[in-house]
Amino acid sequence: MITKFTIPELDQNELQERLSNARYPNELQDDYTGWKFGSPTWAVKDMVDYWKSGFSWEKSRDEINRWHHYQTPINDLNIHFIHEPSSQPSSIPLVLLHGWPSTFYEFHKIIEPLRDHPTQAFHVVVPSLPGYGFSEAPKKYGTGGVAAFADVTHQLMQKLGYHKYMIYGTDWGSAIGSRLAQDHPDHVLGYFTNMMIAGPPLPTLQNIFKHPLKVLKFMLSIVLGFGYIYGADFAPLANFSFANVEKYEGAAYRAIQGMRPYTLAYGLTDSPVGLLGWMLEPYHVWTFHTAEEETQNIPDTITRDEFLTQVTLYWLTNSMSSSIRIYYEAMREMGKAPKMDIRVPLGVCYFKNEAFKFPRDWIEASATKLIQFKTFSTGGHFPALEETDHLLGEIQRFGVAVSKQTHKSKDI
């Protein structure tokens, strides 16, 4: 059964009271720290003040409610999703998959343009991942990882009658999209992402036979340096550590969310200021700043209203604790997931401040049908908010290529 869903109201009085009575932490009183210790008080207070007196949840709620929202049971979970079918006859079903710390709202500027584009339109489906937003959280350990979320997504698309569909994924949505492409190649028309993750072309017998030059380049990168071989556009190898903060400080949040999510969750659940402060850091660090980064809390490309709509959705649904449990499950799934082997059409675009940018060589060794690859000198981890036009152009260009292939084979 699929039922209509309306975004609920917020208890403004409770939120205002909590924001007004917030206690702020003790900090060093010199100019050295900046953002090195995490979100500084001045940046959090500035955003809290706007949350109290400038932000309107009702305005955001009206915008969100203009789309068609639904809920449906899948694997004993009530899953929320947006469904915006296109009126264009050649439209392709497309599922947009968000990640953390985000919600379906990350895509608020691309839903209509994808649905209504005159050249290549899409039937747009935007689910809330289980445990995020208005989707029910997994109740048992072992049901909240990437493989389980991929299964929920596939069942949702089948339930909507989209037996073949295209995927765009970012952050955890990227990992879920990769799993969907591997598990359901007969149903996935194409997979597009801005955070493609791929392993190195190790000197195995298979890689030496199939990709000898790629293996040689990787071996040289160990000796001569990663940046020297692959270019400064790609992150150093240390950045790919999931939770080893000694190698990469940026993995700190993954370490605590992957090891002790319950302990962290008390502060994020009980305090809206704590929640905001925890979310503010990635929206500052993972994005591209055109102005002086140290003096900005978020870049000019993301508005305060957009950021606070995301934060308010987490607060309204009490979903921060359930959203971070995927890190715990993912850490324990490592080594158990199937070897990356994507055989559906793949498109990748990397933006400047994306932390996980892998060389094209690595991707081609894991995906046999990489048909689109591009890097940008601006943007970051949230391109649907930061670089909307560039992302739209890349998704639509990929959609045209997929459409040509699928119509030739009569797959749609």
Judgement on whether residues 124 and 246 belong to the same structural domain of the protein = no
In a domain, 256, yes or no: yes
Cα angle: 211, vertex 186, 368; to 5 degrees: 10
Judgement on whether residues 149 and 226 belong to the same structural domain of the protein = no
Q: Which of residues 403 and 270 earns the better pLDDT score?
A: 270
Task: Please name which of 85, 138, 158, 74 lies closest in space to residue 116, comparing C-alpha atoms.
Answer: 85
In a domain, 163, yes or no: yes
- Identify the pLDDT of residue 31: 64
Question: pLDDT band at residue 335, thresholds of 50, 70 and 90?
Answer: low
Judgement on whether residues 223 and 261 belong to the same structural domain of the protein = yes
Question: Do 133 and 80 contact (CB within 8 A), yes or no?
Answer: yes
Number of folded domains that form the chain: 2
What is the pLDDT averaged over residues 12-16? 96
Query: What residues make up the domain containing 253?
Result: 208-332
pTM (two decimals)? 0.95
Mean pLDDT lowest among 37-51, 75-89, 194-208, 239-253: 239-253
The amino acid occupying position 15 is L
Q: Is the pLDDT of residue 67 over 80?
A: yes
Q: How do beta strands 3-5 and 77-84 pair?
A: unpaired
The residue from 273, 304, 332 where one domain ends is: 332
The amino acid occupying position 300 is D
Say which of 248, 283, 327, 328 is annotated catalytic.
327
Say which of 151, 168, 171, 248 is annotated catalytic.
171
Torsion (CA) 294, 295, 296, 300 in degrees, nearest 10: -100
CATH number at residue 380: 3.40.50.1820
Judgement on whether residues 258 and 376 belong to the same structural domain of the protein = no
Instruction: Confirm whether 98 is a catalytic residue.
Output: no
Numbers of helices and strands, H then E, in the chain? 18, 9
Instruction: Confirm whether 381 is a catalytic residue.
Output: yes
Judgement on whether residues 125 and 194 belong to the same structural domain of the protein = yes
Percent of the chain with pLDDT over 70: 95
- Identify the pLDDT of residue 339: 75
- Identify the pLDDT of residue 232: 77
What is the pLDDT averaged over residues 212-241? 80
Instruction: Confirm whether 230 is a catalytic residue.
Output: no
